[in-house]
Structure 1
Amino acid sequence: MSIQWKGVMPAVTTKFTDNDELDFDMFEVNIKAQLMAGVHGIVLGGTLGEASTLLDEEKRELTKFTVDLVKETVPVLINIAEQSTKAAIAAAQKAEDDGAKGLMMLPPMRYKSGDRETVEYFKTVANSTSLPIMVYNNPVDYKVEVTLKMFDELLKCDNIEAVKESTRDISNVTRIINRFGDRLKIMTGVDTLALESLLMGADGWIAGLVCAFPKETVAIYELQKAGRIQEALEIYRWFLPLLELDINPKLVQNIKLAEVATGIGSENVRAPRLILHGEERKHVLAVIAKSMRTRPTLPDYKNL
């Protein structure tokens, strides 16, 4: 299966049992809800997936389980966030062996690589695998920006196909299109700029709150694609207080609380993360409760 870089691809959370083991039963509940809603791909092991806390064998178990569960109805991607080029190459090979259909790649972790080092890192990994790659460009959180000039060089690798655009600069969508046309697909990666990015020409949405609200997320994408902008906008305006839970240091805990509210997740996180408490918890629960009370009735977005 080649990847069509379009539509909604949830960056799914990793589910844990009370004993801090992978909770495949609850994970399956959530993935089936995503598929039923009509998502276009599944992204494993991102920030929302608590990748930095997962053991290597756990990442492989998640990949194999998800590949078997979706049965090629949608592509399964896994995130690569490593500290060395050697480790990133090994992770790419394991992903390919385990049945993943693509990679989402961050720049090197911890060390703030320079432009030349960042380009060499991505190109070396790309040349080591046949899997298509989406470069995750998030200078706000990861302090390394992949500039258009750097993409000029990166796109010499045929399997670097897409960017997860998370610069927070909405005009960057237009810059990418003007410079690269259809050669570099754009997947918006910031929930609170998603509809704006799609309307400016982004091909799809790597989403966070979709983990708890898959139907609403896919409905926004399908409605705007069909030109029914006002309907998409109405859902998006309802959604925004929830989407803002994603642009927060506690996004994992926030979104897992929302998954509990919609019945497709649990609150368990892996230490050093702790579940929310006190005023912080009250605030998030209040946002979720209000959104649940005013949850919109969706049109038949699957048959537009």
Structure 2
Amino acid sequence: MSGRRALHFVFKVGNRTQTIKFYKDVLGMKILRHEEFEEGCKAACNGPYDGKWSKTMIGYGPEDNHFVCELTYNYGLSSYKLGNDFVGLTIKSSQVLQNAEALGWPIHDKDTFPYLEAPGGYKFYIVDELQPTDTDPVQKVTLAISEKDQSLTYWSELLKLKLYEQSEKQALLGYADDQAKLELKFIGEKVEHCKAFGRIAFSCPSSQLKSIESEVKAADGTILTPFVSLDTPGKATVQVVILADPDGHEICFVGDEGFRELSRMDPAADRLLSDALAADHSDEWFTKKGLSKAEA
């Protein structure tokens, strides 16, 4: 679909310090921007929580032409229960495996299709080939589905992703050849999201947002957040529509014009994150109160 592109996947993280080390030191990604919020997001970007939270965008290059990871951290929560909904994110990079070896990070299924587990349990599959410098190393994000035909109709016909490949168990879709793809994996059972559920994001021209909403509504699809404007302190305002596919996977469509302004790489991102980590005394506060952080 002209003008649409894959942006990022949202991960909820419990231990922000360990998670950032994994993404930077093992995966070799860079902090692109970091933002702190005093209250929950109107579109539930940080999940169904109302308290203080942060967003860290991290990836291999600018968000204009790379699929990146959005790490959301809720100050009062230490971990999230994983479901079977998120299968994994695939990266082409022998360097990642070398980093893992050097740091003693466990590599699973090393002789077949190696993968690493981030703090919190999310899986990252690694293609053992030279990491590209002229294209995005992130190849695809894989989500579980319970019924293939229904999902293909939703993603390819309603949301207009191009179908690149399909087999009995899987289908590969995307908006452009040079973008990270969405892979749907048929698991033959109900998709359970539990509390760690994420969200995949795409951009589109702002003029398409209300038509996407109306088309999904006309098809009796689920709209989690109707067209709304979201503010980021000191940065651009963006318009979004949040949907859910037949298995409940959350999908964010954001207006491309505002998002390109919002998502510019911030040269102060590393410092802002470091300052936030140093100022985060939530563990100490809970300890002094004789409490432990809640597990979601």
Tell me the TM-score normalised to structure 1 length.
0.30
* Higher fraction of strand: 2
Higher relative contact order (CA 8 A, sep 6+): 2
* Higher fraction of helix: 1
Tell me the TM-score normalised to structure 2 length.
0.30
